[in-house]
Amino acid sequence: MRALISVSDKTGIVEFAQSLKLLGVDIISTGGTSKALKAAGIDVIGISDVTGFPECLDGRVKTLDPHIHAGILAMRDNKDHMKQIQELGVIPIDLVVVNLYPFKATILKEGVSLEDAIENIDIGGPTAKNYQDVSVIVDPMDYSIVFDELKGSGKVSRKTNFYLSSKVFEHTSSYDTLIASYMRKQRGADDLPETVTLTYEKIQDMRYGENPHQKAAFYKEVANTKGMLTDAVQLHGKELSFNNINDTNGALELCKEYTEPTVVACKHANPCGVGSGKDIYEAYMRAYTSDPKSIYGGIVVVNREIDVKVAQEINKIFIEIVMAPSFSSEALEILRQKKNIRLLELKNIEEKQPETALDLKKVSGGLLIQTIDSKLYDGELKVVTINSLYQKEMADLEFTWKIVKYAKSNGIAIGKNKQSLGVGPGQVNRIWACEQAIAHCKEALGADILKGASLASDAFFPFPDCVEAASAAGITAIIQPGGANRDQESIDACNKHGIAMVFTGMRHFRH
């Protein structure tokens, strides 16, 4: 039996090669792998001794030779194949241990040059189509499986070979996709490609998906994900569920919109309480008091360190998840008193996704792809009413516009003094969302709180009914995209009731 070993990742390779030698396997090897095996006292056959041709071009050409590929691809039960390789002087290779140059590790380095990246593109992967006769290993975790079968029966089963072959193609597919994606970015392409191949690495299996009968897993992009949810470190609590991760992501993305101390509470991926303040305690109290009912069992994301004072408040109710850039040791001690709360630490929590990042939505038989909704406004805001805006109202409108951007459509958000007062998300018509947001305000904080408040709508008003409802509640400023055929009716209603209205020129549908 012959084995070809040529690996970039040398984890466990010396031990595996030593085990193969004990079973009488001849080992062919190349370059750095050959040196490592020889240094460990393992007798190897140099690749040039098989090919009759020296390794050349700084190692770019080693195994590209019929003496190697024919030895791997020859089908053992095909008499013509075996006759041909015998006539050509080719000896069959039964085991291939190969993994590719570290392209991923290279491009993730700070300041890596295009030239360095190119040199770490392997010219080809292992030839795994002949799985009936040849075992091909790309994952060091599989060394023990192969050795155990060889030791037990003298051969590797066809079932195991098929498993190994499928892993090879997963490996090379991911590798090639990563290269293609990198090259696309290097050429500055900003269009959506004609064909899409994606590569993600599994972080963990989930107990189940959105519902217990659905399978699920959590995957990470092969890229610099600093400040992204996939880089969060769990400090306490039971494992995260599919819904936990999905809901936390929505809260995290909303929290990134704010630079001052801010707390975002979400429930079922919708914001239910948002507060900003001079410190994180003030921000938390504003987020909590805006809707103390909905925050129960929700997700809380904070953009500053959580201290003792905030931890004590959080511990008064049941919260599923708390995410922050850091926790003081005393705060951690307090929060860990509850075994079911999940505590996530995410350094660089303020880092946003690049504008070129993609948003993916699976549909039956296909995939919808778009760039992320990275902007807040489209150009300058336009005051369309005779009533001008005060600086405070403008600050309230911007604060509330950020909230409605992350509420499911149709969505309405009401805010005042750096505090959300009510959110009406995911309604089938806009007036229902408006009425729901107003009702939430009244229930949690009383009707008087609405006087002088600001209202944001994720899309235009098709009718003036939302203006009428806002006026009746005491709201004095509205922000919305504009662009409806009947915009003037809403403008006229605002002018009639003394409400200032701003058009953004940009909507924020969220489905």
Regarding whether 498 and 392 lie in a shared domain, the answer is yes
Regarding whether 124 and 9 lie in a shared domain, the answer is yes
Residue 80 lies inside a defined structural domain of this protein: yes
In degrees and rounded to multiples of 5, residue 313 shows phi and psi of -70, -45
Domain boundary among 157, 186, 215: 186
77 vs 480, which has greater pLDDT?
480
Please measure the distance between the N-terminal and C-terminal CA atoms of the chain and give it in whole angstroms: 58
Which one, of 509, 281, 315, lies nearest residue 409 by Cα? 509
Confidence of residue 388 (pLDDT cuts 50, 70, 90): confident
pLDDT the model gives residue 195: 84
Residue 467 lies inside a defined structural domain of this protein: yes
Q: pLDDT by residue (tens digit) across 140-184?
A: 999 999 999 999 999 999 999 999 988 888 888 888 888 888 888
Q: Does the structure show a pLDDT above 70 at 350?
A: yes
Residue 110 maps to which CATH number?
A: 3.40.50.1380
Catalytic positions, please?
129, 268
Regarding whether 38 and 148 lie in a shared domain, the answer is yes
Residue 25 lies inside a defined structural domain of this protein: yes
Regarding whether 320 and 287 lie in a shared domain, the answer is yes
Number of domains observed in the structure of the chain? 3
Q: Does the structure show a pLDDT above 70 at 123?
A: no
Residue 61 lies inside a defined structural domain of this protein: yes
Q: Does the structure show a pLDDT above 90 at 114?
A: no
Residue 355 lies inside a defined structural domain of this protein: no
- Judge whether 299 and 320 are in contact, CB under 8 Å: yes
* Inter-axis angle of helices 143-153 and 13-22, nearest 10: 10
Tell me how far apart the alpha carbons of residues 132 and 155 are, in angstroms, rounded to a whole number: 11
* Inter-axis angle of helices 158-186 and 143-153, nearest 10: 160
Give the rounded percent of residues in the chain with a pLDDT score beyond 70. Answer: 98
Give the rounded percent of residues in the chain with a pLDDT score beyond 90. Answer: 64
pTM summary value? 0.82
Tell me how far apart the alpha carbons of residues 254 and 299 are, in angstroms, rounded to a whole number: 12
- Judge whether 342 and 318 are in contact, CB under 8 Å: no
Regarding whether 96 and 168 lie in a shared domain, the answer is yes
Tell me how far apart the alpha carbons of residues 120 and 100 are, in angstroms, rounded to a whole number: 9
Residue 43 lies inside a defined structural domain of this protein: yes
Regarding whether 54 and 181 lie in a shared domain, the answer is yes
Residue 373 lies inside a defined structural domain of this protein: no
Q: Which residue type does 198 have?
A: L
Regarding whether 204 and 138 lie in a shared domain, the answer is no
Regarding whether 266 and 161 lie in a shared domain, the answer is no
| Mean pLDDT along residues 297-316 | 96
Residue 359 lies inside a defined structural domain of this protein: no
Strand runs labelled E in 446-499:
454-457, 477-480
pLDDT the model gives residue 386: 94
Residue whose pair of structure tokens reads 């390789």 in the numeric block:
85
Regarding whether 417 and 322 lie in a shared domain, the answer is no
Which structural domain range is residue 125 located in?
Answer: 2-186
32 vs 291, which has greater pLDDT?
291
- Judge whether 290 and 399 are in contact, CB under 8 Å: no
Helix (H) or strand (E) holding 81: helix 79-88
154 burial (CB, 10 Å; 0-12 / 13-18 / 19+) is: exposed
Q: Any idea what DSSP says for residue 164?
A: H
Tell me how far apart the alpha carbons of residues 49 and 51 are, in angstroms, rounded to a whole number: 6
Domain boundary among 345, 371, 395: 345
Regarding whether 252 and 110 lie in a shared domain, the answer is no
